[in-house]
Amino acid sequence: MSLSSLERVAGNTYVIPAPANIGVWVTGSRATLIDASNDDDAGRQILRLLTERGWTLDMIVCTHSNADHIGGNAFLQKRTGCRIAATAIEAAFIEQPILEPSLLYGGYPMKSLRNKFLMAKPSTVTDVIAPDGPILDSGLEALPLPGHFLGMIGVRTPDDVLFVADSIFSEEILCKYPVFFLYDVARHLETLSRLGSIGAARYVPSHAPHTDDIRALVAANVRRVIQSLGLIERCCIEPSSFDSILERVCADCGIDLDANQYSLVGSSVRSMISFLVDTSRLDMHFACGCALWSLSEGIGEKTGPG
């Protein structure tokens, strides 16, 4: 992965285009990063871009703790002594990266899951921040965007540029990964609903180009979630185990599983099952030592939430 350019979004707000875009807020000669990409090599390239412009790295603000957003933290902190800021629950994952593959897998992760894609190197969170309001003395503002992960935030710069992290994905990613990772479906849908009305001069998703209008992309993400929920409901017209639901989802969506995808897709399917149970769309019961899910009485073959 080559991080070779720095684009001005507005004023003193920049983005380093990457698989997970990196924000840069500059005050004088001091730079604050919004996320730090996925590994040491990315951290090295980020530092080179900053150094070439005479900027000193002051702090990394982590929108959330997924490895593709914090993988450069350890290298950058070791080289510069920079501060790292995150919300409390995300800080735990940043300092104890084994928590991410453990959460995804639902137990101690096998060796094939203890990799840089799911488990970044540990770094030290120097500043635990609130999910909303001013971020220390940086001039930046945090906005709560829960759902994709436990304590994810967006970050607004004084140039009115809003970094919205993994709250929305590009339509290309939605097509490539029809079941994308979600931790809390209800809160994700609430976040999407709020995003449509949160004003900003410019929006920077982590996995889509920056834009001045995200309403169409928000709508596309809502549709994708509803389609996935409808698929799981159809899987449960007859009582079905988790494995049979996952098999049907993968077949319908053309998903080829490996260890990483099994954990990511499997975790998302479990989260969607939880949402459907909590909203009285599915019932959970047990037979012969197996957990089964089926449509709630009265739902019939109706699909979609609510």
Q: Coil, strand or helix: which one is 275? A: helix
Q: Is residue 301 part of a domain?
A: no
CATH number at residue 16: 3.60.15.10
Q: Which of 223, 255, 278 is the C-terminal boundary of a domain?
A: 223
126 and 240 share a domain? no
DSSP state of 240: B
Cα gap 235→246, rounded to integer Å:
9
242 and 213 share a domain? no
117 and 186 share a domain? yes
Q: Nearest-CA neighbor of 236 among 249, 227, 245?
A: 245
| Residue 131, C-beta contacts closer than 8 angstroms, at least 6 positions apart | 87, 142, 143, 144, 146, 151, 153
Q: Coil, strand or helix: which one is 281? A: coil
Q: Which of 180, 197, 223 is the C-terminal boundary of a domain?
A: 223
Instruction: Give the pLDDT confidence of 198-213 residue by residue, as tens digits.
Output: 999 999 999 999 999 9
Q: Is residue 286 part of a domain?
A: yes
Cα gap 19→183, rounded to integer Å:
21
Q: Is residue 141 part of a domain?
A: yes
Instruction: Give the pLDDT confidence of 161-200 residue by residue, as tens digits.
Output: 999 999 999 999 999 888 999 999 999 999 999 998 899 9
262 and 181 share a domain? no
248 and 171 share a domain? no
Q: Is residue 156 part of a domain?
A: yes
Please, are residues 145 and 153 in contact by the beta-carbon 8 Å criterion? yes
Has this prediction a pTM greater than 0.85? yes
84 and 216 share a domain? yes
110 and 47 share a domain? yes
Q: Is residue 56 part of a domain?
A: yes
Number of domains in the chain: 2
Q: Is residue 91 part of a domain?
A: yes
Q: Nearest-CA neighbor of 70 among 50, 89, 94?
A: 94
Cα gap 183→269, rounded to integer Å:
9
Owning domain of residue 43: 7-223
CA R_g for the chain: 20
254 and 106 share a domain? no
Helix axes 259-278, 185-195, angle to 10 degrees: 80
Please, are residues 204 and 161 in contact by the beta-carbon 8 Å criterion? yes
Q: Coil, strand or helix: which one is 202? A: strand
192 and 277 share a domain? no
Please, are residues 22 and 15 in contact by the beta-carbon 8 Å criterion? yes
Q: Nearest-CA neighbor of 108 among 119, 95, 116?
A: 119
13 and 122 share a domain? yes
Which regions in the chain score pLDDT beneath 70? 1, 298-306
Q: Which of 184, 202, 223 is the C-terminal boundary of a domain?
A: 223
What is the structure's pLDDT at 164?
Answer: 98
Q: Is residue 230 part of a domain?
A: no
215 and 80 share a domain? yes
What is the structure's pLDDT at 75?
Answer: 98
186 and 269 share a domain? no
> Within 62-214, where are the H helices?
67-70, 73-80, 88-95, 99-105, 171-176, 185-195
Q: Is residue 39 part of a domain?
A: yes
Q: Coil, strand or helix: which one is 14? A: strand
Cα gap 65→92, rounded to integer Å:
9
Please, are residues 163 and 146 in contact by the beta-carbon 8 Å criterion? no
Please, are residues 1 and 17 in contact by the beta-carbon 8 Å criterion? no
